[in-house]
Amino acid sequence: MPRSAVRSRAVLAFALFVVILYAVFTGVTGTRLLLLASRTRALPETSLGITYIVGGMLGWAAVLVGGGIIDRAPEAGRLLNAVGLLCFSAGSLSLGLFCWRVFAPTSLGARGLFFALLLMLIVDWVHNILILGTPFPPTTSFWYWPGMVGRTTLILWRPAAALPYYARLRKRLALGLADPVATNRVLLWGAAGALSATSSIFVVAVTLADLWVTPARAPIAITTVVLATLDSALSWLAFVPPRRYIAWIKLRSAERGA
């Protein structure tokens, strides 16, 4: 077998392994949050669980399968693309709802931003799916921008809300006024959000530079998938942490306080 073919197979196997890791981490985290939501009926766990399951898992699965079968089964492919875009937008909006209601529930600016993005993504879905017939229009089209701007803004909201709040929690922690596990959870979730935002901006830059149709597409895809998987792993560590990890966080905090 030629060396290039062996290399291609190795890259494909690595990508597949990383995608499976992503699906496991995201699925476990989202399921854990939705199970909690079924008991508490509270908005934060419901919206975050929907973000991971609907936006993180179903959206990707529908778009990947839809794109793969569209030549052989155009109707089914288009339907899956429509479902995929709906899942992406619903998942992103669910994340925005969490950020607004948890970090700035009384802010008129946050409320206005959320409803503006909601309107933008509804218009984006209706136009692109029902009129244009494609979930992701080319970058030369005006209709590339509303969905991209809406979803990227919602993804950026997460680290923009969580990381400054973590800085405040650190000050509280030094005075014994914050819980070390919750403080670490905010850090992990915010850092994961920063990775997710980096990945989104990277994808937008690559798409605008038209690099998906060049030989660079393989390393670009791997980079994107690795960033998404790191996000999902940190989210898993935040919301479904092993008991040893929690014990370590508590011990470290106690040592620092002593």
Partner 1 sequence: MADSPVFEWACDTLERRSGLTRIQARGTMRIVVGQAGLDSKSLRVSQLHVVATRLLPKELRARGLEDVDMICEDLAQCPMSVEHREEAGVPSDPEEVFKRLGRHN
List interacting residues with partner 1 (CB under 8 A): 32-33, 36, 40, 42, 44-45, 48, 101-103, 105-106, 165, 167-172, 175-179, 181-183, 185-186, 189, 238-241, 243, 246
Residue with smaller CB distance to partner 1, 54 or 82: 54
195: closest CA among 231, 164, 163, 220? 231
Taking the mean position of all CA atoms in its chain, how far away is CA 196? 6
Minimal distance, residue 162 CB to partner 1, in Å: 8
Print burial letters for 222-233: b (CB count within 10 Å at least 16), e (below 16). eeebbbbbbbbb
Phi, psi of 34 (to 5 degrees): -70, -35
Minimal distance, residue 228 CB to partner 1, in Å: 21
Minimal distance, residue 190 CB to partner 1, in Å: 10
Helix/strand/coil for 43: helix
What is the C-alpha to C-alpha distance for residues 34 and 18, in angstroms, rounded to an integer?
24
Residue with smaller CB distance to partner 1, 19 or 28: 28
Residue with smaller CB distance to partner 1, 9 or 171: 171
DSSP symbol at 71: T
Residue with smaller CB distance to partner 1, 114 or 239: 239
Minimal distance, residue 176 CB to partner 1, in Å: 7
Taking the mean position of all CA atoms in its chain, how far away is CA 127? 24
Minimal distance, residue 42 CB to partner 1, in Å: 8
Minimal distance, residue 88 CB to partner 1, in Å: 23
Residue with smaller CB distance to partner 1, 131 or 175: 175
Q: Are 135 and 129 in contact (CB under 8 A)?
A: yes
Residue with smaller CB distance to partner 1, 100 or 136: 100
Residue with smaller CB distance to partner 1, 128 or 183: 183
Phi, psi of 71 (to 5 degrees): -75, -35
Minimal distance, residue 93 CB to partner 1, in Å: 19
Q: Which long-range contacts (CB under 8 A, 24 or more apart) does 177-186 make?
A: 180/249, 180/250, 180/252, 180/253, 181/241, 181/246, 181/249, 181/250, 184/238, 184/249, 185/238, 185/239, 185/241, 186/162
